[in-house]
Chain A
Amino acid sequence: MTLPALHEVPRPETEHDKLREIWRPPSGLRFITAVNNTYIGIFYVGAALLFFLLAGLLALGMRTQLLFAENEFLSQEAYNQFFTMHGTIMMFLFAVPAVEAMGVFLLPPMLAARDLPFPRLSAYAFWAYFVGGLIFFGSLFFGLAPRGGWFMYPPLTSTQYSPGISADFWLLGIGFIEISAIAGAVEILVGVLRTRAPGMSLDKLPIYAWAMLVFATLIVLAFPAIILGTALLELERAFGWPFFDAARGGDPLLWQHLFWFFGHPEVYIIFLPAAGFVSMILPTMAGVPLAGYRLVVIALLATGFTAMGVWVHHMFATGIPSLSVSFFSAASMAVAVPSGIQVFAWIATLASGRLRFHTPALFLLGFLFIFTLGGLTGVMVGLVPFDWQVHDTYFIVAHFHYVLIGGMVFPLFAAFYYWAPIASIRPLSERLGRWVFGLLFVGFNVAFFPMHITGLLGMPRRVWTYPADVGWEGLNQLSTAGAYLIAAAVLLFLIDVLRNFRLTTDKGGAGNVWNAGTLEWIENSTYGVRSIPPVDAREPLWAHRDLRELTEAGAYFLPGSVTGGRETLVTSPLEGRPQFVLQLPGPGWSPLLAAVATALGFFMLTLKLVVPALVLAGVTVAFLCIWLWGSDPGPAGPPADVGGGHVVPTSASGPLSHSWWGTVVLIVVLAMLFGALVFSYLYLWTVSRQVWPASTGQPLPAPFWPLAAAAAFAASSLAMAWANRALGRSRPDRRASERVGLGLALGLLVAAFLLELVGQRASGLSPTTSSYGALVYVGIALEGALVLALVVMGLYTLARSLTGRLGPERRATFDNTRLLWHYGVAQGLALLVLLHLAPLVLG
């Protein structure tokens, strides 16, 4: 069956030439200013692989140290730095960025979008991660690398036991890299929901896109907890605010709650995209559609949710009430239900088709074997009594490597071999690929299977060396041999890449070598597909054999450019109906320079150089404003015919706009951050009531202060609503009202914040005396940061108004500022309730 053409073909050649010209990548050294996904995606994947290699080298160092009992290859100090950096880099600088990178690269062609909706945000996220990651890794060469393990538990990481700045490198470096991950998640969420091909309704969404939706949602929900945690620990280390110091009403377990509220979902953040790879590759290799598509979607969603509710299973050995651990043990068992659904769907797909044993299929079979074993030991350690026995032993090391390497690295290698033909003019080598698989599979099992036994024999994780008479040496030597086999596999993979991977961004890749059914296998260029095909099936290329040719001929939506610039089609989130043409930005220095300034700013903070850090923060904001100044361009002309009788506008504002969706996601991030603060407050109240005002007699601020602050917050929102009404009217004389409204809103917001701060100061409360005071001031600091951001946004919006860049037809900037403004006010009012009513109610 043929999907009818929406435009006459053949198209005029000048149309295609113009499309190429519009999307022409920057040449020479300026290629680093590229922002579109074909470049940023590849940069991202390359950087993630670099960090994989670096962390792998650290692993080889550790395995060499453990080769013999009482070995002295590494000093104890160096070993502690190696395992901390290995875990941290693998989790934060390889695993999450690698799957995010693949999403940035793959999602646009899979959804038939020309690019993701915020290309400069992708570029910023990449450069911030890359520069920040290199600085972080560089700490090893100066003996400044952190030593507290990848989860950095206090009190080991307090200033008392970790003096110097090594722990600060971790806290500031990782907190900052997570902001980069959140930026990527915003891009992916809005991209999947709003830039799909027409007709690609939610029930026809490629399963990988579903996985990335859940992945990005988990980042948005889970990462704020660790951002707050790292901020609290850094505040304790830098200024003595006692959140984790038990002597002053803190609790080290608060860190564990915040860390694992992020840390457990992190496992699924890594695994779910990999499961998405499997669900895309397996059907192609078996030649049949994925069995139980709907069930797999349900399983992805259920896994994502369950991941948010099992964080305490990492804390079974901390002495929390046994009934509490039972709840989380039960919840941990529940993960087996959706995970099982996915595994059975894959097995059913294999059973219903005929598997072709190409390299990607081999990696998938390896994944199924290894990940299933990791899942089984996961069920074992989910049982509290067993967990107590093997806690902090090599059994745990074996378990999580089976889960993470089996669940993420094997599917990632499958993905590299599977999708290389769309990024390279020739595929990777089948022959070398089989060797890579064989070495990796054998090496992995030789390295990690013996660790189960080493752990059961009692070898604790993270020990620098061990005595000769405990019987661990043989097993450790086996593990070390396996580690070198893994290194050989990775080396061979690199040789394969160097020999065969030849990047192509201005013309098609090696073609649909696997006869896959999804849209990314249509010839892609820097502009994505030549025309955007309508979609009426989950495997459009299998349903319509001539779809590829007609799409490449320009027969479908947007065969050229209707705005004269870079653009993509925005569709409705549920049904995928065309809504408007989104004008996209081209290459530019501002995201790159903003990212470098951000990374250096955090580096300066690590070195306690506060003034340079503040200057760099100002530079970052300046570059962000430069980059935003050209956005929200308003309509490029009258509504345009994009094909099939669809005439749509060339800009949008309010809830229709992609940027409004980005703002909504940002608000969810902020709400989770605030939620983590409320949790911290309530948690410390339950364990340290002796430092709360009812016990210490610390007076609360007089009612005038919170009441005045609340009134100012509310009035600020009202002033913003007034400005909104004025902007909605097209009469030019209303411009003054709009500006007065904005100015008033700004002044009132700042006043509200200052009233709260002054009130607390006047009560004599100190942030260093107890955890109560520290929590009060960190709440105010959190609100202060938001108020500062809103002030910058308000002034920026005012500047746009004064320069004629704001109006009834060009108001996306204002709408986004307004939305965030109302959230900022709501959070401010909630904070007042927490700081003034909660101490009275809780006692």
Chain B
Amino acid sequence: MRDSARAFLWEMLEMTSGPIVWFGHLVLVYGATSLGCSRQGEATLIGSEVVTGVTVVSTLLALGGSAWLIAHHARDLAEQGDSEARSFVDRVTIALGAFAVIGIVWTALPALIGPACPT
């Protein structure tokens, strides 16, 4: 059982990595939109087609990362059963990863089903 300070901090980071991935994805697609879609007729810094590209690629990466996280901890959970605290952390990691998947899909939908920069 890893219970040292550094290992614990790392474990907490891993436990919350699903929502961290979701947040990173949100910031990325929001940033791309800010740079690519004009505000009140101003010139844009990147083309609007880049917005769609960034959204698609980052969504696939974020979903892939979350899926890997869930699978990795599901395997951990199946392999060890000696510590309730440890399996608790694994279960929370998996559930937060699943929540992140919902959040990522939800966030990406507006960009994927509509025009890149609607007016």
Point out residues on A near B: beta carbons under 8 Å.
193, 201-203, 294-295, 297-298, 301-302, 305-306, 308-309, 312, 319-324, 326-331, 333-334, 337-338, 572-575, 577, 655-656, 660-661, 664, 686
Q: B residues 104-119 with Cβ under 8 Å of A?
A: 106-107, 109-111, 114, 116-119
Q: Are A301 and B26 in contact (CB under 8 A)?
A: no
Q: What number of B residues sit within 8 Å (CB to CB) of A?
A: 50
B37 within 8 A of A: yes
Using Cβ atoms and an 8 Å threshold, which residues of chain A touch B11?
574
Contact A330-B22, Cβ < 8 Å, known A338-B99, A577-B3:
no
Q: Are A572 and B99 in contact (CB under 8 A)?
A: no
Nearest CB in chain A: distance from B116 CB, A: 7
Q: Are A655 and B3 in contact (CB under 8 A)?
A: no
A664 to B12 Cα, complex, angstroms: 14
Q: Are A573 and B39 in contact (CB under 8 A)?
A: no
Using Cβ atoms and an 8 Å threshold, which residues of chain B touch A324?
30, 33-34, 37
Contact A323-B114, Cβ < 8 Å, known A294-B88, A334-B102, A574-B11:
yes
Contact A326-B110, Cβ < 8 Å, known A294-B92, A321-B37, A334-B103:
yes
B95 within 8 A of A: yes
A138 to B119 Cα, complex, angstroms: 48
B4 within 8 A of A: yes
- The total of interchain contacts (Cβ-Cβ below 8 angstroms) comes to 123
Nearest CB in chain B: distance from A467 CB, A: 33
B35 within 8 A of A: yes
Q: Are A294 and B91 in contact (CB under 8 A)?
A: yes
Using Cβ atoms and an 8 Å threshold, which residues of chain A touch B114?
323, 326
Residue of B nearest to A333 (CB): B106
B96 within 8 A of A: yes
Using Cβ atoms and an 8 Å threshold, which residues of chain A touch B37?
321-324
Q: Are B99 and A302 in contact (CB under 8 A)?
A: yes
A294 to B40 Cα, complex, angstroms: 47
Q: Are B107 and A327 in contact (CB under 8 A)?
A: yes
Contact A319-B3, Cβ < 8 Å, known A294-B91, A324-B34:
no
Contact A309-B95, Cβ < 8 Å, known A201-B85, A660-B5:
no
Q: Are A573 and B8 in contact (CB under 8 A)?
A: yes
A329 to B111 Cα, complex, angstroms: 12
Q: Are B19 and A305 in contact (CB under 8 A)?
A: yes
Residue of A nearest to B89 (CB): A202
Q: Are A306 and B103 in contact (CB under 8 A)?
A: yes
A328 to B30 Cα, complex, angstroms: 9
Residue from A322, A328, A337, A664 whose CB has the most chain B CB atoms within 10 Å: A322
Could you pull out 20 A-B pairs where Cβ atoms are within 8 angstroms?
A: A193-B8, A301-B19, A302-B19, A305-B22, A309-B22, A323-B118, A327-B29, A331-B103, A334-B107, A572-B3, A572-B8, A573-B8, A574-B2, A574-B11, A575-B3, A655-B5, A661-B5, A664-B9, A686-B34, A686-B35
Q: Are A574 and B19 in contact (CB under 8 A)?
A: no
Q: Are B3 and A573 in contact (CB under 8 A)?
A: yes
11 more CB-based (< 8 A) A-B contacts, given A301-B16, A321-B117, A323-B51: A294-B91, A305-B22, A306-B103, A320-B39, A323-B37, A326-B111, A330-B109, A331-B106, A334-B107, A664-B9, A686-B35
Q: Mark B54-67, 1 if CB is under 8 A from A, else 0.
A: 00000000000000
Q: Are A321 and B38 in contact (CB under 8 A)?
A: yes
Nearest CB in chain A: distance from B86 CB, A: 8
Instruction: Give the contacting residue for A337; candidates B26, B88, B99; CB below 8 A.
Output: B99
Q: Are A298 and B96 in contact (CB under 8 A)?
A: yes
A306 to B25 Cα, complex, angstroms: 13
Using Cβ atoms and an 8 Å threshold, which residues of chain A touch B9?
664
Using Cβ atoms and an 8 Å threshold, which residues of chain B touch A322?
37, 118-119
Using Cβ atoms and an 8 Å threshold, which residues of chain A touch B33?
321, 323-324, 327
Residue of B nearest to A326 (CB): B110
Q: B residues 1-23 with Cβ under 8 Å of A?
A: 1-6, 8-9, 11, 16, 19-20, 22-23
Using Cβ atoms and an 8 Å threshold, which residues of chain A touch B95?
294-295, 298
Residue of B nearest to A318 (CB): B39
Using Cβ atoms and an 8 Å threshold, which residues of chain B touch A660?
5
Nearest CB in chain A: distance from B98 CB, A: 9
Using Cβ atoms and an 8 Å threshold, which residues of chain B touch A306?
19, 103
Q: Mark B23-52, 1 if CB is under 8 A from A, else 0.
A: 100110110011101111000010000010
A661 to B107 Cα, complex, angstroms: 35
Q: Are B5 and A202 in contact (CB under 8 A)?
A: no
Instruction: Give the contacting residue for A201; candidates B4, B5, B84, B109; CB below 8 A.
Output: B84
A319 to B37 Cα, complex, angstroms: 12
Q: Are B107 and A331 in contact (CB under 8 A)?
A: yes
Residue of A nearest to B11 (CB): A574
A661 to B6 Cα, complex, angstroms: 10
Q: Are B30 and A327 in contact (CB under 8 A)?
A: yes
Contact A203-B22, Cβ < 8 Å, known A298-B99, A323-B114:
no
A333 to B39 Cα, complex, angstroms: 25
Using Cβ atoms and an 8 Å threshold, which residues of chain A touch B110?
323, 326-327, 329-330
Nearest CB in chain B: distance from A684 CB, A: 12
Using Cβ atoms and an 8 Å threshold, which residues of chain A touch B23?
305, 308-309
Nearest CB in chain B: distance from A13 CB, A: 37
Q: Are A337 and B102 in contact (CB under 8 A)?
A: yes
A574 to B37 Cα, complex, angstroms: 46
Q: Are B84 and A301 in contact (CB under 8 A)?
A: no
Nearest CB in chain A: distance from B99 CB, A: 5
A664 to B8 Cα, complex, angstroms: 13
Residue of A nearest to B111 (CB): A323
Q: Are A686 and B45 in contact (CB under 8 A)?
A: yes
Nearest CB in chain A: distance from B112 CB, A: 11
A437 to B32 Cα, complex, angstroms: 50
Using Cβ atoms and an 8 Å threshold, which residues of chain A touch B85?
201-203, 574-575
A152 to B27 Cα, complex, angstroms: 25
Using Cβ atoms and an 8 Å threshold, which residues of chain A touch B111?
323, 326-327
A656 to B4 Cα, complex, angstroms: 8
Using Cβ atoms and an 8 Å threshold, which residues of chain A touch B86?
574
Contact A321-B84, Cβ < 8 Å, known A331-B106, A686-B34, A686-B45:
no
A294 to B9 Cα, complex, angstroms: 20
For the complex of A and B, list the 3 residue pairs with the smallest distance between their C-beta atoms, beginning with the closest.
Answer: A305-B19, A326-B110, A655-B5
Q: Are B107 and A330 in contact (CB under 8 A)?
A: yes
Q: Are B40 and A297 in contact (CB under 8 A)?
A: no
Q: Are B96 and A301 in contact (CB under 8 A)?
A: yes
Nearest CB in chain B: distance from A694 CB, A: 13
Nearest CB in chain B: distance from A669 CB, A: 15
Residue from A193, A301, A574 whose CB has the most chain B CB atoms within 10 Å: A574
A321 to B83 Cα, complex, angstroms: 49
Using Cβ atoms and an 8 Å threshold, which residues of chain B touch A661?
5
A575 to B23 Cα, complex, angstroms: 29
Residue of A nearest to B20 (CB): A305
Q: Are B92 and A297 in contact (CB under 8 A)?
A: yes
Using Cβ atoms and an 8 Å threshold, which residues of chain B touch A338?
99
Residue of A nearest to B119 (CB): A322
A573 to B5 Cα, complex, angstroms: 7
Using Cβ atoms and an 8 Å threshold, which residues of chain B touch A298?
92, 95-96, 99
Q: Are B34 and A327 in contact (CB under 8 A)?
A: no
Residue of B nearest to A335 (CB): B103
Residue of B nearest to A302 (CB): B99
Contact A575-B34, Cβ < 8 Å, known A203-B85, A203-B88:
no
Nearest CB in chain A: distance from B105 CB, A: 9
Using Cβ atoms and an 8 Å threshold, which residues of chain A touch B103?
306, 331, 334
Using Cβ atoms and an 8 Å threshold, which residues of chain B touch A319?
39-40
Using Cβ atoms and an 8 Å threshold, which residues of chain B touch A328?
30
Using Cβ atoms and an 8 Å threshold, which residues of chain A touch B106?
330-331, 333-334
Q: Are B5 and A321 in contact (CB under 8 A)?
A: no
A24 to B22 Cα, complex, angstroms: 50
Nearest CB in chain A: distance from B27 CB, A: 8
Nearest CB in chain B: distance from A577 CB, A: 7
Using Cβ atoms and an 8 Å threshold, which residues of chain B touch A575?
1, 3, 83, 85
Contact A302-B3, Cβ < 8 Å, known A324-B34, A664-B9:
no
Using Cβ atoms and an 8 Å threshold, which residues of chain B touch A664?
9
Residue of A nearest to B6 (CB): A655
